[in-house]
Structure 1
Amino acid sequence: MSEANKQQGAVQTTGHSWDGDLQEFNNPLPTWWLWGFYLTVVFAVIYWVIYPAWPVGETYTRGVANTITYTVDGEERTTHWNTRALLMKEMQSGKSAQKMQAYMEQVAAASYEDILADEEMLAFTRAVAKGMFGDNCAACHGSGGAGVMGLFPNLVDDAWLWGGTVEQIEQTLTEGRHGFMPAFGRSLDDGQINAVAHYVLSLSDHEVDDDMAQRGMQIFNGREGGCFYCHTSEGTGLESQGAANLTDSIWTVADVPGQDSLDGKLNEVKRVVENGIERVMPAWEGRLSDNEIKLLTVYVHELGGGQ
């Protein structure tokens, strides 16, 4: 490059040219950019040394950062620094965790009456128990507690098979429940089952054949059927047995509301009478702590309005 071009600040070239006037410029990178690049390389090397970084066979470099101690099932565990261990420690001893623990202790010491009467404690209980319900109960009862017709009870309709007081709900969660109704397919013939179905529907004010309903009432309240032992002679059910109230038009197994015709409703009731029912809810004692069961008790109680 000539002295004249240098003095005029002309851009340097590599000396290559094509077609006489097509040249390749030699533009150096800005100094600040180069230093920034060198610094990122130095930072990366330091980071690789301090923190877990590179896979090595079936393991990885652990780094030289401080260790972290947290609790697992009541026992302290110490490990090298990593984001998972850091999260566990923050969940157990961070500011939010300490605040939550204080609320948990407050709830544990309070009675159900105190929790239900205190808006702040009740809001905390709902917030925490909602996640617990999603983890442990939603698989059967659904995320909103609406259940599945014929399989799992609806918890939001205020019809409590085993009772809706906080004490009864706590017992349900703690001990579990075994709902059972025998199958009458062998002890009653088709005519008798049909008559019982007419009577059961009449209890919730469905228009049925009066003669058939009268015959069904005799079977229902007689030794042939013996339905009154659990459902009572009025059909209102016994909470001690988990027997449904047949007079409130709330159906948990027979999908009567989903049928448009009387025949469809009768078939639903006959199916239940003929095949019986067996539903088991596991006991949560031992799986959940007493305080977790307490939180869930309040949450479920509030889902259906409680008693």
Structure 2
Amino acid sequence: MSKPTEKKGAVQTTGHAWDGDLQEYNNPLPRWWLWGFYATVVFAVVYWLMYPAWPVGNTFTKGFNTITFEVDGEERTTHWNTRALLVRDMQSSPSAVRQREFLEQIAAASYEEILTDADKISFVRSYAHGIFGDFCAACHQVGGAGIVGLYPNLANDDWLWGGTVERIEETLIQGRLGYMPSYRETLSADQMNDVAVYVLSIAGYEGGDADAIGRGDRIFHGAEGGCFQCHNVGGVGRTSQGAPNLTNNIWQIIDVPNAADHDARVELVKSVLRNGIQRQMPAFADRLSPIEIKVLTAYVHQLGGGQ
């Protein structure tokens, strides 16, 4: 069989022919493509050697590349990984350096300076927002509004334990125990009804029976109830005990303002008298650093208007 002739300028063939004129063209890949492919192979091999790559049993190849960062003031070197890279960037990146500079300024400043300096309080809002989200928002919600019946509202300027920076800092450091005894065994149903009517009257609600209000007043301020010992003689509360002000119509435990009518409000107050209150806020002295507590204190203070 004669070899087919190739026309001038035609694509080169491999020299193979079938049925006389069926030929196999020789179209090699472009040289740039081949070099690019070889480069990716070399890159992959180098990457596998330098960085974590292949699973091996219960572990993986760590690679030869290392990364150094600080842990409690001491340098630590480990194999390269994204977590270590994040830690190093948080320590040495320009933004991290700038953040440390601001934290040093906050640590050296008084609360008065922090709260009156626009740059410092702006940094506090930004930095403490993350701390609040990690440690506080689960109970007090993102905006600090709390949950009625469970966790206090931090944004309404009604401070159970006091709203000064000193009291807020103390609350964060040592935590708080909110407690009110149950009067289930102490007061009769009628007596609890009278106290509830009296409490609503000093909160500004009308509709209570005058005789019941008088009886509730005597129980509130007498030995039977002894409510004045925590809530004060005028019912304005006592921050040393975390006892709320009963005269300002701000309710942390029960949703009195949204009750259907006066009878429903009385039942809500009676439920607190009957069941008492037991709730605890954990201490954060062992969870947050002193500077974090200081920043969070200033943040919570301005969140609720402060005192």
Q: What TM-score do the two structures reach when normalised by structure 2?
A: 0.92
Where does 1:241-256 land on structure 2 (aligned, <5 Å)?
241-256=241-256
Partner SS, residue 79 of structure 1: strand
Amino acid in structure 1 at the alignment position of 2:254: A
* Stretch moving more, 255-264 or 242-251: 255-264
Amino acid in structure 2 at the alignment position of 1:205: G
Q: 1:247 offset after TM fit, Å? A: 0.6
Q: 1:76 offset after TM fit, Å? A: 3.1
Match of 2:295 in 1: 295
> Residues 114, 22 of structure 1: CA spacing in aligned structure 2 closer, same or farther, 3 A cutoff?
farther
* Stretch moving more, 102-111 or 279-288: 279-288
Match of 2:189 in 1: 190
Listed as ranges, the gaps of 5+ residues in structure 2 are none
Match of 2:107 in 1: 108
Q: What is the alpha-carbon root mean square deviation over aligned residues?
A: 2.2
Q: 1:27 offset after TM fit, Å? A: 4.4
Match of 2:60 in 1: 60
Match of 1:268 in 2: 268
Match of 2:170 in 1: 171
Partner SS, residue 256 of structure 2: coil
* Stretch moving more, 212-221 or 56-65: 56-65
Amino acid in structure 2 at the alignment position of 1:9: A
Match of 1:154 in 2: 153
Q: 1:74 offset after TM fit, Å? A: 4.1
Q: 1:4 offset after TM fit, Å? A: 4.7
Listed as ranges, the gaps of 5+ residues in structure 1 are none
Partner SS, residue 178 of structure 2: strand
> Residues 69, 10 of structure 1: CA spacing in aligned structure 2 closer, same or farther, 3 A cutoff?
closer
**Aligned mates of 1:26, 1:182 — CA distance in 2:** 95
Partner SS, residue 240 of structure 1: coil
Match of 1:221 in 2: 221
Match of 1:9 in 2: 10
**Aligned mates of 1:161, 1:135 — CA distance in 2:** 23
Q: 1:180 offset after TM fit, Å? A: 0.9
**Aligned mates of 2:142, 2:219 — CA distance in 1:** 40
Deviations along 1:73-104, one digit per CA (max 9) or x if unpaired, are: 44432212222212211211222221111111
**Aligned mates of 1:271, 1:29 — CA distance in 2:** 84
**Aligned mates of 1:243, 1:264 — CA distance in 2:** 23
Q: 1:31 offset after TM fit, Å? A: 2.4
Q: 1:54 offset after TM fit, Å? A: 1.3
Match of 1:120 in 2: 119
Amino acid in structure 2 at the alignment position of 1:201: L
**Aligned mates of 2:61, 2:71 — CA distance in 1:** 24
Q: 1:283 offset after TM fit, Å? A: 1.4
Amino acid in structure 2 at the alignment position of 1:178: L
Match of 1:181 in 2: 180
In the alignment, does 2:101 pair up with 1:99? no
Partner SS, residue 89 of structure 2: helix
Identity of aligned residues (%): 58
In the alignment, does 2:71 pair up with 1:69? no
**Aligned mates of 2:81, 2:134 — CA distance in 1:** 26
**Aligned mates of 1:93, 1:148 — CA distance in 2:** 40
Where does 1:18-97 land on structure 2 (aligned, <5 Å)?
27-65=27-65, 67-97=66-96
Partner SS, residue 3 of structure 1: coil
**Aligned mates of 1:222, 1:44 — CA distance in 2:** 83
Contact 2:11/2:25 (8 A) holds in 1:
no
Match of 1:141 in 2: 140
**Aligned mates of 2:242, 2:221 — CA distance in 1:** 18
Partner SS, residue 183 of structure 1: coil
Partner SS, residue 172 of structure 1: helix
**Aligned mates of 1:279, 1:129 — CA distance in 2:** 25
Q: 1:52 offset after TM fit, Å? A: 2.0
Amino acid in structure 2 at the alignment position of 1:72: V
Amino acid in structure 2 at the alignment position of 1:282: P
Q: What TM-score do the two structures reach when normalised by structure 1?
A: 0.92
Q: 1:15 offset after TM fit, Å? A: 5.5
* Stretch moving more, 29-38 or 136-145: 29-38
* Stretch moving more, 254-263 or 274-283: 254-263
**Aligned mates of 1:125, 1:96 — CA distance in 2:** 15
